[in-house]
Amino acid sequence: MTTKENQRADLLLLLFSVFATASANSVVFASMSELQEQYKYADSALGLIAGTGFAMGLVVQIFVAPLADRGHGKKLIQVGLALAALGSVTFALGDSLLIFIVGRGIVGASIGFTFPAVRALAAHLDESRSAERLGAVAGMEIGGFVSGPLIGSLIIGPFGLDATFLLFGALAVLALFIVNPRKFPELASTTESQRLSFDLLRIRNIRVALILTLAVTFPTGMFDALWDRFLDDLGGNNAMTGLTFAVYGLPFIFFSARAGKLIDKRSPVAVVLWLAIPISLLTITYGVVKQPWVILGIGLIEGFLQATMIPAALSAIAKAAPHGRASAAQGLSGAITVFGQMVTAFIAPTIYGAYGAFTTFFVVAVGIAVIAGIAGIMHLRNLNSLR
């Protein structure tokens, strides 16, 4: 098998691992309204379930992801897939808020094991095409996150919540068995690889890339915790929830790798800064529009923008990472992402319950603009210091 064929086979297996992990994490978001109706949970309980997974992902990505830089990338992916399966089974067997929180925490931890290692390994396969590879990874991440709610919304009705969670747990087990015999190329390792991710914060370009990543991804927590409830309030059903996720995810699946190829020839920081403006404006429109079918069109536009922004943010991290710190940098990026998502997942349902949709989406949109603005100022200062 040629080098290119090996790289392609490795990439496909990495993508499948990401898909299985992401879908196991996201299927719960198609069930939020069902859980609330069945168990009479308050809006804050939904935020607690969603936010716990993000919190676990944050901790794991900070303290575990650097292990991939020491030759343990495949092991991290295997553990992540096992946790995705275990958390799904816990959800299926659960019947109380505490068990659902525990299950969500286990599933959330799987992201911390799998995602940074996969991103670092994918970028390492061909560093001259890192943004293209990371675009493919981002597309499969979103494809998994979209497939969970989409498929879940279709099978929850006829088969119930338990069968739905068990199906996605089985998918994670399948991915684990397929990945087990494969030997992936190891990441470059140096004496610096022994350090935790926090040490990277001293690097200016890393700080800029991290803040940009936060601006791009932190609204996800709001959508994860509220989207099913939001559409339900507008008169939508489970099928509509799944359809909106599908429409949003299509650009990632078919466009993000191509966008990454273009980003490889440009400044990824500049790409994110320019696209942050229309993204923040689109976020506000969600709170204004009252028709679910119109929201489909908005979601499609946002999907194309995000399918370019997310690979650009990941590429900025990869380019700023020192030699031997690839997974640590991606883990720190993931931790920052999860932190923002956790905050919005915890607080957005409360804002929504007290003040409604417009205020919730407006607050998040302002957050996007402010965070991106801070990154832009820091980036300009970095450029000026080099002159």
DSSP secondary structure string, 155-213?
A: HHHHHHHHHHHHHHHHHHHHHHHHHTT--PPPPP--GGGGS-GGGGGGSHHHHHHHHHH
Q: What is the pLDDT of residues 130-146, one digit of tens each?
A: 777 888 888 888 888 87
- For the cut 60, the answer to whether the pLDDT of residue 213 exceeds it is yes
Q: Check residue 191 and give its pLDDT.
A: 57
The three-class DSSP label of residue 42 is coil
- Tokens representing 163 are 């069968």
Q: Check residue 360 and give its pLDDT.
A: 93
The three-class DSSP label of residue 354 is helix
Mean pLDDT of 354-382: 91
Rounded Cα distance between 193 and 117, Å, is 14
- For the cut 90, the answer to whether the pLDDT of residue 284 exceeds it is yes
- Tokens representing 247 are 């429409």
Torsion sign over Cα 333, 335, 339, 342: positive
Rounded Cα distance between 92 and 163, Å, is 7
Rounded Cα distance between 286 and 346, Å, is 19
Q: Check residue 33 and give its pLDDT.
A: 67
- Tokens representing 54 are 């993000």
Mean pLDDT of 318-337: 79
DSSP 29: G
Mean pLDDT of 222-244: 80
The DSSP secondary structure of 211-271, one letter per residue, reads HHHHHHHTHHHHHHHHHHHHHHHTT--HHHHHHHHHHHHHHHHHHHHHHHHHHTTS-HHHH
- For the cut 90, the answer to whether the pLDDT of residue 171 exceeds it is yes
Amino acid at 246: A
The pLDDT confidence band at residue 120, using thresholds 50, 70 and 90, is confident
Burial of 53 (0-12, 13-18, 19+ CB in 10 A): buried
- For the cut 80, the answer to whether the pLDDT of residue 268 exceeds it is yes
Q: Check residue 374 and give its pLDDT.
A: 93
Q: Which long-range contacts (CB under 8 A, 24 or more apart) does 156-161 make?
A: 156/30, 156/31, 156/34, 156/238, 157/238, 161/31, 161/34, 161/35, 161/91, 161/92
- For the cut 80, the answer to whether the pLDDT of residue 385 exceeds it is no
Mean pLDDT of 99-109: 90
The three-class DSSP label of residue 40 is coil
- 107, 144 contact by CB (below 8 A): no
- 77, 117 contact by CB (below 8 A): yes
Torsion sign over Cα 335, 338, 342, 344: positive
* Summary mean pLDDT of the chain: 83
Q: Quick one: which of 109, 326, 56 has its CA closest to 200?
A: 326
- For the cut 90, the answer to whether the pLDDT of residue 220 exceeds it is no
CA end-to-end span of the chain, whole Å?
Answer: 47
The three-class DSSP label of residue 84 is helix
Torsion sign over Cα 94, 100, 106, 110: positive
- For the cut 80, the answer to whether the pLDDT of residue 188 exceeds it is no
Q: Which carries the bigger pLDDT value, residue 171 or residue 53?
A: 171
Q: Check residue 362 and give its pLDDT.
A: 94
- For the cut 90, the answer to whether the pLDDT of residue 371 exceeds it is yes
The pLDDT confidence band at residue 96, using thresholds 50, 70 and 90, is confident
Give percent of the chain above pLDDT 70.
93
Burial of 38 (0-12, 13-18, 19+ CB in 10 A): exposed
Q: Which carries the bigger pLDDT value, residue 40 or residue 194?
A: 40
Q: Check residue 117 and give its pLDDT.
A: 86
Q: Which carries the bigger pLDDT value, residue 331 or residue 192?
A: 331
Burial of 265 (0-12, 13-18, 19+ CB in 10 A): exposed
Q: Which carries the bigger pLDDT value, residue 177 or residue 250?
A: 177
The pLDDT confidence band at residue 387, using thresholds 50, 70 and 90, is low
Q: Check residue 174 and give its pLDDT.
A: 95
Rounded Cα distance between 10 and 121, Å, is 9
Q: Which carries the bigger pLDDT value, residue 132 or residue 374?
A: 374
